[in-house]
Amino acid sequence: MLKVLVASSKGGAGKTTIATNLAAYYAVDGKNTVLVDADRQGSSQRWAEKRARMPNAVLGLSGLRRDWMRHVPDDAERIVIDSAAGIRSGEVGEFLDTVDAVIVPILPSAIDLEAAEPFLADLADLPRIKRGKVPVALVANRLKPWTNASQQAVDTIKRFPFPIVAELRDTQGYVLASELGRSIFDYNSELVRSHQDDWAKLIRWLRKLA
Low-confidence residues of the chain: pLDDT under 50: none
Instruction: Report the pLDDT value the prediction gives residue 112, as an integer from 0 to 100.
Output: 92
| Cβ contact 189:161 at 8 Å | no
Instruction: Report the pLDDT value the prediction gives residue 10, as an integer from 0 to 100.
Output: 85
Q: Would you call 15 exposed, middle or buried from its count of C-beta atoms within 10 A (0-12, 13-18, 19+)? A: buried
pTM for the predicted model, two decimal places = 0.94
- The alpha helices in the chain, defined as continuous H runs, are 15-28, 43-50, 89-93, 110-125, 127-130, 148-157, 173-179, 190-197, 200-207
Query: Domains in the chain, start-ordered, CATH in brackets?
Result: 2-207 (3.40.50.300)
Percent of the chain past pLDDT 70, that is, above it, reads: 100
